[in-house]
Amino acid sequence: MPRSNIPRPQPRCGACIVLHAQCPPRCFFAPYFSHEEGVIDFSAIHRVFGVSNASFLLYQVPARDRSEAAVLLTIEALARLQDPVYGCVSHILTLQQQVSDLQTYRAYLQDSLFVYYSSYPQPVPQPDQNPSWNFDLPIIPENVSHPSFQEATLPLYPGKASSSQMPPPDDIDELGPIVFGNRRRH
């Protein structure tokens, strides 16, 4: 018999490989957990949620949204394996803290620029002199000596400065009320 006529067995889906089961022709998990990457994904879901909970969660979602739900289950399961208490929320909290730190640093830099530019009055350019100028940018005359970085009087770094641009330390950033209902991890 020629080799081309021998039916090749279908590879099992990732869920059936983890469960050590034969993959039925219409396996519920096959569309969402492929043979290649599905093993790792379903293994994490199996450890965190269990097979019955995972199948129940996917079954409750409309068929058109199940592949996205399977991806979200995988992301949450992998995050729960790293941090069993917070899961994905720990990643969100870390990103929120980074946003807050960057906003504070941006305010510090704005204060620094304000101090620098306020020490030297800027001439107002006349529009008819050179129409190609960008009037939004400050103009520093060439004959003015500029202080070195050490000589410039800068505001203290956040926490020590009292500026209207500095957010209060207990202020929740923009994402806090939306994601966590005004609760913050300390």
Q: Kindly tell me if the per-residue pLDDT of 23 is higher than 80.
A: yes
**What does pTM read for this prediction?**
0.52
Shared domain for 35 and 67, answered yes or no, is: yes
* Residue 103 to residue 165: CA distance in whole angstroms: 10
Please indicate, yes or no, if residue 132 is contained in any of the structural domains.
Answer: no
Write out the residue range of the structural domain in which residue 19 sits: 10-82
Residue 71 C-alpha from the chain's centroid: 16
Shared domain for 48 and 96, answered yes or no, is: no
* Residue 155 to residue 118: CA distance in whole angstroms: 13
Shared domain for 29 and 61, answered yes or no, is: yes
- Give the tens place of pLDDT for each residue, 94-116: 999 999 999 999 999 998 888 88
Shared domain for 106 and 177, answered yes or no, is: yes
- 22-26, 132-136, 161-165: segment of lowest average pLDDT: 161-165
Q: Residue 171: which pLDDT band, with cuts at 50, 70 and 90?
A: very low
* Residue 12 to residue 22: CA distance in whole angstroms: 7
Shared domain for 100 and 168, answered yes or no, is: yes
By percentage, how much of the chain surpasses pLDDT 90?
23
Shared domain for 90 and 179, answered yes or no, is: yes
Count: domains in the chain:
2
